[in-house]
Structures are given as structure tokens and as C-alpha cells.
Amino acid sequence: MSEIKNLIEKLSKLDHKNMYKNDFFWTWDKTDEELKSVFAVADILRKMREENISTRIFDSGLGISLFRDNSTRTRFSFASACNLLGLEVQDLDEGKSQVAHGETVRETANMISFMADVIGIRDDMFIGKGHAYMKEVSEAVQTGHEDGVLEQRPTLVNLQCDVDHPTQSMADMAHIINHFGGIENLKGKKIAMTWAYSPSYGKPLSVPQGIIGLMTRYGMEVSLAHPEGYDLMPEVEEVARKNAEASGGKFTKSNSMAEAFKDADIVYPKSWASFAAMEKRTNLYGEGKFDEIKVLEKELLAENAKHKDWECTEEMMKLTKEGKALYMHCLPADITGVSCEAGEVAASVFDRYRDPLYKEAGYKPYVIAAMIYLSKVKNPAKTFEALLQAHSERFLGK
Amino acid sequence: MSEIKNLIEKLSKLDHKNMYKNDFFWTWDKTDEELKSVFAVADILRKMREENISTRIFDSGLGISLFRDNSTRTRFSFASACNLLGLEVQDLDEGKSQVAHGETVRETANMISFMADVIGIRDDMFIGKGHAYMKEVSEAVQTGHEDGVLEQRPTLVNLQCDVDHPTQSMADMAHIINHFGGIENLKGKKIAMTWAYSPSYGKPLSVPQGIIGLMTRYGMEVSLAHPEGYDLMPEVEEVARKNAEASGGKFTKSNSMAEAFKDADIVYPKSWASFAAMEKRTNLYGEGKFDEIKVLEKELLAENAKHKDWECTEEMMKLTKEGKALYMHCLPADITGVSCEAGEVAASVFDRYRDPLYKEAGYKPYVIAAMIYLSKVKNPAKTFEALLQAHSERFLGK
Amino acid sequence: MSEIKNLIEKLSKLDHKNMYKNDFFWTWDKTDEELKSVFAVADILRKMREENISTRIFDSGLGISLFRDNSTRTRFSFASACNLLGLEVQDLDEGKSQVAHGETVRETANMISFMADVIGIRDDMFIGKGHAYMKEVSEAVQTGHEDGVLEQRPTLVNLQCDVDHPTQSMADMAHIINHFGGIENLKGKKIAMTWAYSPSYGKPLSVPQGIIGLMTRYGMEVSLAHPEGYDLMPEVEEVARKNAEASGGKFTKSNSMAEAFKDADIVYPKSWASFAAMEKRTNLYGEGKFDEIKVLEKELLAENAKHKDWECTEEMMKLTKEGKALYMHCLPADITGVSCEAGEVAASVFDRYRDPLYKEAGYKPYVIAAMIYLSKVKNPAKTFEALLQAHSERFLGK
């Protein structure tokens, strides 16, 4: 209990006032203190739940989810986060169509929001589309609120767009902070964010982009490596470069997995599609050239297959700091010999890190809940104190 | 707060005792005082929510939704209404089949209702079917309750049938009352309920029927206009005629959009299928003649296309009272040059009325919640007073 | 109220401590006192709800449902049970694929469980698969909890596997107890669990297996009858034999519906597939031989059709004790001349027993809630007393 009080005390000293009534799109939109606030609130929520103290700040209200790509873990994370705070999830199932734009987006956004406190969106499939769509929704509900259509303005949480995947990277970061015993211990640590081979194609770029855009803020050396042609969006690399400079860290690039793994404290090997290919695919999609998309996909898979050596094997792991780097992944991973013939990671490596990987994922519901909390609650510390005071039990049967 | 108390005072003087434990099928089943009660309860719920006072009257319980036609806004409205009162929505997904009748309906209705407090149904696709189905469900749960199968009897809310769309027309009416500053100001106002061209076919008749069946009760002149062959159900027109007579209003019919728009205070231009065509289609469907349905649909679209001049253009709007009639629509509208090449309304007209249109839609969740409230709560005014007394907050973080 | 207090008193004397933090797979895993505890808790929950006393023991938390076979009534029963206790249902929709095994199951089970208090699974389609899958999930979350991945360990409720259907058989038993005025009156009663003809094929064996595995524990004569070739799993028949011996009852087998019905107090005529056929089908499915499955299905239907005389007709009913045996079914039944040309039961028989059948089904939500309650609540009686003390109303508008 005193631990919770300390965390609340810490939270009360951080400046997060601009998060109030605001959306969460990209981590690099947010100040360091704002991100620290997210970690603090996530911690408080977790500890309160562990101590069986209710964190329901909503007696009623909806959390809208809109998934334009399949999702199990993010879906459940969002549902868990909403439920923890007292919101009921209502899923907007609009199919995976990309056609909903303009009038339709504006209208739908308002129609679903009369009693919505938060909207979580995943739209990561098409370069140049996902974030744009979220902005459109955000502006629609903002206008709706200003014009008196919506009593309250639902805030948005980006559950993965084409640019960033902040609930993932923030959960990953919480995991790293916990692993190394505090944010203050990260300075000088090396993290290898590398491409890895996968037999499936077209995985979003937002995970690696989210990682280099966030991890460069903590004085770490972020080493990005991928085969030629698998570049990330240049503007995000620019963010990473500036972050590294400001935080006294480093952002390096190479085309060698081994180089990135060398002496790394953390490795994050993961497949993604190349930016150029994704852009081409988006254009073909927009032009309705589905046959050409199929041809492109085949080409891309063939290209992928040239890089099967980009696998996180035991040999690769030996290159890392004392051979014991923390292996990370957003899951599900393509595990060689388990979920596919040849994949991102060797079975024995994955196996050794299963618990840490599951724990890594376990931060996500709390990170999402924290983002919602900070966007909705006017005085975060004071409301936590009120919850502690009330000391209502989450579960009566303990 | 004193405004809420005044509304409760007003509510307490209205006779709504027959709504208790009763369903809401058609507005013309209800007395004027009962409809006034719905508006009053909707207002109270909205104002309590705005003042952050909890309106949860259910600590647990289910609201069952059954959509036999696609729906986004009605689905979210029902979900919002249930959530506002404390009910969790559980969707019964039975496909869009029309085969569920007799034994199956009776059984399913009981099986899903052991802990259901309310059932919302949308079944608007087939003339002669939707309302009949709802009655079947209603009788099944009534019998189930009487025979001791169901502890409580869930009440039904018609979320759109083949005859009426009461949650729409009541929301529309709330919008009109608000726009004109009170129900007492409607006498003598003219509302044009007109057909409009749409490139899609087969839109239900229940919206125009709901409008003429309700708006004729307030002393207004309701002017129905459509091309030849697009008649509504004669029994609903009869309801409209009788209503108009009783309320001192007028119900007129013509085949000219311009005539209806002339000096109108309100215009409601909207596409629908012709009654005869819908009936034919229902029969073909029943006989499993799917090929013939396709042929019929093509014919109907061709017929529709003859009436592209039925569009709510700026020129048409100029015919209305001072050129400033209130434009209404149940949404989504087919907007010329935006959502289709040629549609129900010109983009510039729609654009000018966007805010009012969204506000119009915003009444629906509260109207649905009010219908549920009045069907479940024994003493509506007293329970509101108890909620005010308790003054539990909807959201703790304000 | 004094009735509730008596039930709580009774509950407090039963030994159910091993149910705490434990799963519910098969009734024969549980002691007699544990099953009695389920009936007692189900009764208490029902009576508290009837007296408008809140039974919400969860302020937040998720109940995960995973249906690998279509379901309406079990789905709604689980949703009702969760809602009654304060849990929000979140459905895991993984399609009906049988491929999710090993790594995937372990991972998914943990990923959905960070805030899950209970998981309900239905997986009844393939012999040798359903229970195995549930065990896999159970072990995954157990390990996850032990390794610190999951703060709480969700308990499992078997909503129907290939072996048992405990929420059905327990609801059936509650119905029987109620019908005969107490568990003590069942000794010597005869129940006929018989096969019946259905034009559909491949119905799970878990219902008849659940019935013979449970009903043999109460000193009744359980008479199993089916055409040759429609055997149940031998290990479950062994359970039934041992149960009968221990309880002083009887377990008999025959190939004659009439023999089973003779002087029966209860009849439960219901279609199922033969064990051997189901096993063959499972193997073909595993080998991806879908064409051969179709051939097999046709053969099975032809085989079924040889036994159309296995129907619960009025003539058959006359064979039972005073011609008035209690007719039971898990629903939906194939009713001759109603839902099919020839089926499991004559329309007039079904009709006469409709109310009892619906009531039988009405026990299921409470039985499921009781299973959840006993697996989560440390001191069941004490927590009920606390709920009575608090006397929070389920619904404020009574």
C-alpha cells in the first residue's frame, strides 16, 4: 500500500496536463514526463488490482474498438483495460474495407460516440493510411464535441497504425525498465532492433518503427539492422536520430544482424515488409489491381526467402553481452520447427525466454488503461487517492 | 439540477402506468401522455448524464439485441442505452434467415431470456414479417413468464420493423420539439415527408411510415409525396389520417416533391422501396425464388432511376418556408457527388445541416433508454428521485 | 430470506474446499459433497436474484468464452452466469479450426488471461480432442500463474467436451431433484437414457455420457439403450457402472428403446453419433480427407435412417411408469412434423412437456454461475452472508 502511495506521490509531480482530453497517436508526440506518467499510472493500476482495490472510475460508458486488421492479443488487452476502468467494450465491425473516408468517417465517428469515452483503433495494413484515418476520426469527434453533437469527446488510443505501435512499444519499455531495475539503469545499454526472416509477408513496419522511435529516448544505443531494401519510413528514422542525440544515446544502422547483436543487452529480431514494397502494394490496392498485388506478394516472399539466415539462433545469441541478452518479441513469433519450417527465432531460444515474453505482453493492458486514464481524468493523482480512500474491493470472495 | 427536478415533477403527472411491463412496438399503440413520458425520461437521463449523475438502475442483467438487418447506428444506440442503465448487451446472431418461426422462435425466445431484462429487435426487411416476428417473441416470453419459466419478463423494444421505426421517429420528434422550442409550437407547422432517389434499392418503408404515423399527432400538416407506385402501407396512412383529424392537423398526399416542399417548415426527403415491390419480393423469398428476386431487383432499380429528379437540391430548398426549412434524415443519406453519383440530397444542402442531423441522431440512445426505463421501472419519478438522492457519479475523474 | 439463510447454512457444512481455484471438467472428478455444493450455490444465487439482492462479487474482470462449435443456449447461459457475478464476457473467436495446438494454445491461453477470472470452453466436435484441449489450456494458465505471468489463475468451466457436458447434466439433475422434491427421493427411480432418430448426423456423445456418468450416483436405475453400433465411450460406461455400484443403483444396457422406457420415471431420448464413426471422422479430419468425410457422413445418415422407429411417441410414453414419466431433453429437439419430417420425439409429447423442458434449461445459467462461484470464492458461505448483509439491490426500479 505504501508502494502505491509513493507511486501516486511520484505521479503528482509529473507534468501530464496536456494528456488530458488528448489522443495518444505516437510516443514521439509526448514529452518524457508524459511517458513517465503512463508508466506510473500503469504501475499503480496493476498494484491496486493486485491488492484487490477497485479501479473503476466509470460507472457506465463505452470503449469503442475498431480493428481493421485481425487481432487477438491487442483486442483482449483493450477489452481488459476498458473493463478495469469500468467501460464496456463495443466493437465496430466495419469489415476490413479501406473505402470508408471523408463523409462516412466523419459521420460514423459521431454516430458511435454519443456515449463513448474512448475509441481504440488498429489500422496498420496500408502505408500512409492508418494514421491518416485515426486523425480523421479524431478531428471528427473533436468537431462533433465543439459543435454540441457530442456531450463528451472520446479520446483515441492508437492500437497500431502504419507509423507507430505505441501500446506495444510502451509495454516493451515497461518490460525493459522492470528487467534492468529502473529507467536510470538504461543509459549505455545496447538494443538490437533487427529484421528476421518469416515465411509470411507484409508484416507492418510499425513495431520496429515504434521501437526505434521510443527506445532512443533513454540514452541507449539502438542498433537497427535489416537486409537491403527493408528500410523503415525515413521520417521515423529521423525521429530516432534526434532522440538519440537529445538523450545522449546512439542510433546506428547496418545490414548485418551479427553486427547489431554484437554485445547487445537486448535483442528484438522481428520480420517486417519493406517500406517501398508496402507503398507499392498500397497503391495497387488503391487502384484495385488485385492481380498485380498477388504477383507482388509472390515477389516479396521470394525476396524474403533470400534472407533465411536472418534468424535469432543460439549462435546469434552468443554474440550478445555475455551471451545473455534479453530476447524480446511482440508475439506471435515465427518459431523455426514449431510454427513454421524456418522462421524468426530458434525454438530453444524462444523456449528459454517464454516467461519474460509473456510478461512483456502482460504490460499491455495496463499501458492501455494508463493511456485512457490520463486522457480522461482531470487530476490523476487525486482520483487515485479517492479510489484508495474508498477502498472498494474488485472481488468480494478473496 | 432544478431543471432535472422540474422534469421529474412533470413526469410524475403523466399517466404512463400501462407502459410498465409492456413492449414498445408502434408509436400509435401509445397515448399522447405515454409519448410525452418517453420524451421526459429521455431528457432527464440526458441531463443526469451531463451532470455526471449515475443512471444505473441495473446492477446486473442483460439487454439482448437481435439484428436481422445490418446496423451500425441503431446497434450502438441500443448498446449505449443499455449501458447507461446498467445492462450488458448480448447479441443474438441468428443470421439473416427468415426461417425461424413457430417452435423455434418460442424456444429461442425463452432460452435467451432467463436473465434478460429487455430485448431489442430489428427486423425490417420483409413486408408482413418483422412485426409478426416481434409479436411472436413477445408472446413467447409472456407465456414463459406466466408459466414460471422466466423469473422476469423481458420487455421488447422495436428497433425497426416492417411497419414502424419508433426509436427513429421519436428521436426525430425530440429533435423537432427542441428545434421549435417546445411541443406547443408545432401546431400548424408543415412537414414534407417525401420520397427521394437513391441508387440502392429496397430501403424499408418503416421510416416514412413512422414519420407520418407520429408527426400527425401534433397538429402539424404532414405532406407525403412520392412518385406513383411508391405507396406506403394503407393501414399506416389510415393511422396518419385519423391522427391528423384528432390533433387538428392535416395529412395530405401528392406525387410532387415540389408541392410537398412548398412552404414547409421541415423536409424529410428519403428513399424507400414501393410497398407492392417489397411484398412481391417477400413472396419470392418465401418461395425460394432467388433468381427471380435478382430480376425483380434490377427492374426496381430501373424504375427508381426514372425518378432521379426527386432530389433535395438547393432549388427545392428554396421552395420551403423562407428557404430555411429544417432538413432531416435518419442517416446515412445518399449524397450526390459524395457517397454516390446521384442521390437523395445535394452535397451543399447536406453540408449545411450536418450538425442538426448529427444532433437528431443523438436523441436515439436516450429515446431507447427511456423506452426501456418506462417498461421496467414501476414508479419512474420516484426512482429518478432516488438516483438524484444517491448522487452516485458516472465518472469519478471529472 | 430465511430460506436463503438455511441454504447458506447447509452450504457451510459441505466440503468444497478442493473446488477453490480448480477447474470443472467432468462431474465424476468431483465428490458428492462438491456436486451438492453446486446445487446449493445455484439455488442461493437464484433465490437472491428473485429477491432482488445483488450477487455481484466482481466489480470488474473478464469471463472468456471460447466456442469451437455453434451454440446459442450455452453461450447465453455462460453470458448470464458471468453477468450475474459481475464479469464481462469477452469472446475468443478462433474459428472452428482444430489446428491450434502446442505453442499456440499455451501462448493464446496466457495472452487472453491477464485479467480473466474464468474461461468457458465448448469443444465437443472431435472424439479425443475436446477434453485434451481444455487440459492444455488449464495447464497453460496454471504454469503462467506459477511463473508470475498471470496475477490470478483463471479457472475453467467445461461448456461441453467430447466426454462430458457437466453444465447440462448438472442442470438436468437440478431439474430432477426439483421435480421429485429432493435428492433423497431419487433412490430406485428409473431413468431411460436412450438414443433417438434424428435426420441430422454427428451429434456429440457428451450429453448421454454426461447423463449416465452423473445420474448413476443417486441410487437410480439408469437404463441406457441404443441401436447396435451406437456405443458410448467405454471408459464412461465404466464410470457409470462403478457409480451405480457405489450408490446402490443400477446401470443397465440394451438395444431396445421399449425395454428402457418400461416403467421409467424419467426418459431422455436423444440422438447421437456412434463413437466408432466419430473416431473415424476425427481421423479423416486430421488427415485432411474432406471428401472421405462427406462419404462417411452419407453412410452415417443412411445408417441412422434404419432406426426411425427410435422415436419418443405417445405409445412409447405409455410404457413408462403410469404413462407419466418426466420427458427430458437438452434442446433443441428434433420434433416430428415440426422441425423435421421424422425426429426424436412426437409433437404431442414434446408439447405436453414444454414448460418442464424450458425450466430444465433454466437451471443452466445458475449451475454455471455456481461452478464459477465455487472455483473463485475462498469462503463461499461467508461471502454469501456478506452479500445478504450488504443487501444491494440488483434492480432499483422494483
- Are B150 and C362 a contacting pair at CB < 8 A? yes
Would you state the pLDDT for residue B389? 95
Residue A94 pLDDT exceeds 90:
no
Tell me which residue in B80, B358, B397 faces A378 most closely, judged by beta carbons. Answer: B397
- Dist. CA B211–CA B220, nearest whole Å: 12
**Residues C350-382: pLDDT tens digits?**
999 999 999 999 999 999 999 999 999 999 999
Chain B nearest CA to A128, separation (Å): 22
Using CA coordinates, name the residue in chain C closest to A77.
Answer: C112
Cβ neighbours of B358 in A, within 8 Å: 107, 110-111, 144, 147, 149
Report, as an integer, the average pLDDT of A293-311: 91
Per-residue pLDDT averaged across C117-139, rounded?
A: 93
Residue C295: is its pLDDT beyond 50? yes
Structural Rg of chain B based on CA atoms: 21
Is C355 within 8 Å of B58 when comparing Cβ atoms? no
Is residue A199 reached through a cis peptide bond, with omega within 30 degrees of 0 on the bond before it? no
In this complex, is the C-beta atom of B89 within 8 Å of any C-beta atom belonging to chain C? no
pTM here is: 0.96
Domain architecture of chain B: domains with CATH: 2-163+364-390 (3.40.50.1370), 167-361 (3.40.50.1370)
pLDDT at residue A101 is higher than 60: no
The pLDDT of C300-325, averaged and rounded, is 96
Measured CA to CA, the distance from residue A108 to residue B332 in angstroms comes to 9
Residue A149 makes CB contacts below 8 A (sequence gap 6+) with A110, B355, B358, B359, B362
Q: Which residues are within 8 A (CB) of C52 and not within 5 positions of it... i.e. 6 or more apart? A: C393, C394, C395, C398
DSSP B147: T
**Quick one: which of C195, C193, C194, C163 has its CA closest to C304?**
C195
- Nearest CB to A115; choose among B359, B365, B392: B365
Q: How many CB atoms lie within 10 A of CB B250?
A: 16
B335 touches chain A (CB under 8 A): yes
> What digits encode the pLDDT tens for the residues B255-272?
999 999 999 999 999 999
Summarize the confidence of residues B96-123 as an average pLDDT.
Answer: 81
Chain A residues touching C59 at Cβ < 8 A: 54, 56, 392-395
Beta bridge partners of B191: B222, B266
With beta carbons less than 8 A apart as the criterion, state whether A220 and A191 touch.
yes
Chain A residues with CB inside 8 Å of C16's CB?
Answer: none
Q: Which residue of A has its CA nearest to C146?
A: A355
Q: Given CB atoms, is C392 within the 8 Å cutoff of chain A?
A: no
Q: Check B108 against C72: CB less than 8 A apart.
A: yes
Would you say B351 and B215 are in contact if contact means Cβ atoms under 8 Å apart? no
Surface-to-core class of residue C323, CB atoms within 10 Å of its CB (0-12 exposed, 13-18 middle, 19+ buried): exposed
More confident residue, C202 or B44: B44
Please tell me the least confidently modeled range out of A240-244, C92-96, C344-348.
Answer: C92-96
- Tell the residue number behind the cell numbers 530476447, with chain if given: A327
Residue C313's CB is within 10 A of a number of other CB atoms, namely 15
* Mutation target vs C (from A60, A65, A83; most C CBs, 10 A cutoff): A83
Q: Which residue of A has its CA nearest to B75?
A: A112
Residues of A with CB below 8 A from C150's CB? 362
CB contact under 8 A, B76 and A147: no
pLDDT confidence tier of residue C192, bands split at 50, 70 and 90: very high
Cβ A376–B396 below 8 Å, yes or no? no
Mean pLDDT for chain C overall: 94
Chain C residue with minimum CA distance to A336: C103
Q: pLDDT band at residue B198, thresholds of 50, 70 and 90?
A: very high
The residue among A150, A81, A86 whose CA lies nearest residue A120 is A81
Contact call for C395 and B61, based on CB within 8 A: yes
Residues of B whose CB is below 8 A from A378:
397-398
Comparing alpha-carbon positions, the chain B residue that sits nearest to C87 is: B60
Q: Which amino acid is at A56?
A: R
Contact B240, B308 (CB under 8 A): no
| Cα atoms in the 13 Å half-sphere on the side-chain side of A266 | 29
Q: Do C76 and B112 touch (CB under 8 A)?
A: yes
pLDDT > 90? residue A62: yes
Q: Of B33, B57, B25, B278, nearest to B167 (Cα)? A: B25
**CA gap B178, B59 in Å, rounded:** 32
Comparing A238-252, A256-270, B39-53, B56-70, the range with the smallest average pLDDT is B56-70
- Using the Cβ of B88 and the Cβ atoms of chain A, whether some distance falls under 8 Å is answered with yes
Number of neighbouring beta carbons within 10 Å of residue B234: 9
Please provide the distance, in angstroms rounded to a whole number, between the alpha carbons at the two ends of chain A.
17
Q: What is the model's pLDDT at position A168?
A: 98
Tens digit of each residue's pLDDT (9 = 90 or more) over C238-270: 999 999 999 999 999 999 999 999 999 999 999
Cβ(B328)–Cβ(B172) under 8 Å?
yes
Residue A98 has pLDDT above 60, yes or no: no
| Site of grid cell 404431442 | C348
Tell me the mean pLDDT in the region A182-198. Answer: 97
User: Looking at chain A, which subunits does it touch, using at least 3 CB pairs closer than 8 Å as the criterion?
Assistant: B, C
Please, which pLDDT band fits residue A284 given cuts at 50, 70 and 90?
confident
Res B277 pLDDT > 70:
yes
- The grid coordinates listed for B32 are 399522447
Banded model confidence at residue B306, pLDDT cuts 50, 70, 90? very high
Subunit partners of chain B (3 or more CB pairs within 8 A): A, C
Contact criterion met (CB below 8 Å) for A266 and A190: yes
Of C319, C327, C374, the C-alpha closest to C351 is C327
Q: Which of B55, B358, B394 sits opposite A110 (nearest CB)?
A: B358
Q: Which of residues 371-390 of B touch C (CB under 8 A)?
A: 373, 376-380, 383, 386-387
Give me C90's grid cell: 469477452
Query: For residue C185, what is the DSSP state?
Result: G
Which of B43, B57, B396, B398 is the mutation pick for testing A, counting most A CBs within 10 A? B396
One-letter amino acid of B236? V
Do the Cβ atoms of A8 and A366 come closer than 8 Å? no
Residue B301 CA to residue B285 CA, distance in Å, equals 18
B102 CB neighbours in chain C (<8 A) are 338
CA distance C57 to chain A (A): 5
Instruction: Say if the Cβ atoms of C362 and B57 lie within 8 Å.
Output: no
State the pLDDT confidence band at B310, using cuts at 50, 70 and 90. Answer: very high
* Mean pLDDT calculated for residue range C51-75: 92
Mark yes or no for CB contact C361/B148 under 8 Å. no
- What does each C-alpha distance from B163 to B118, B166, B175, C362 come to in angstroms? 21, 10, 22, 33
For every residue of C112-150, DSSP letters joined together read: T-TTEEEEEEE--SSTTTHHHHHHHHHHHHHHHHHTTS-
Nearest neighbour of B114 by CB, restricted to C331, C362, C398: C362
How close A177 gets to chain B, by Cα (Å)?
28
Q: Within 10 Å of residue B241's Cβ, how many Cβ atoms?
A: 17
Length of chain A counted residue by residue: 398
Q: Residue B72: its pLDDT value, please?
A: 83
Please check whether residue C168 touches B, CB under 8 A: no
The confidence band for B96, taking pLDDT boundaries of 50, 70 and 90, is very low
Evaluate if residue B289 carries a pLDDT over 90: no
Residue of A nearest to B91 (CA): A90
| Mean pLDDT on B363-384 | 98
Contact A378 B398 (CB under 8 A): yes
Mean pLDDT of C303-331: 97
**Closest Cβ–Cβ partner in C50, C83, C355 for B60:** C83
Rounded to 10 degrees, the C-alpha dihedral A168/A174/A177/A179 comes to -90
Nearest-angstrom CA–CA distance, B70 and B48: 31
Cβ of C60 and A84 within 8 Å?
yes
Neighbours, chain C (3 or more CB pairs < 8 A): A, B
The helix/strand/coil state of C229 is coil
Q: Higher-confidence residue: C23 or B72?
A: C23
Q: Which amino acid is it at B161?
A: C
Q: Using the 8-state DSSP alphabet, how is residue A21 labeled?
A: T
DSSP designation for A325 = P
Phi-psi region of A229 (alpha: psi -120 to 50; beta: other; left: phi over 0): left
Reported confidence tier of residue B126, pLDDT bands at 50, 70, 90 = confident
* Eight-state DSSP code of residue C373: H
Judge whether residue C97 has pLDDT over 80. no
More confident residue, A92 or A174: A174
**Averaged pLDDT score across all residues of chain B:** 94
Looking at residue C98, its pLDDT comes to 40
- Name the band, by pLDDT with cuts 50, 70 and 90, for residue C280: confident
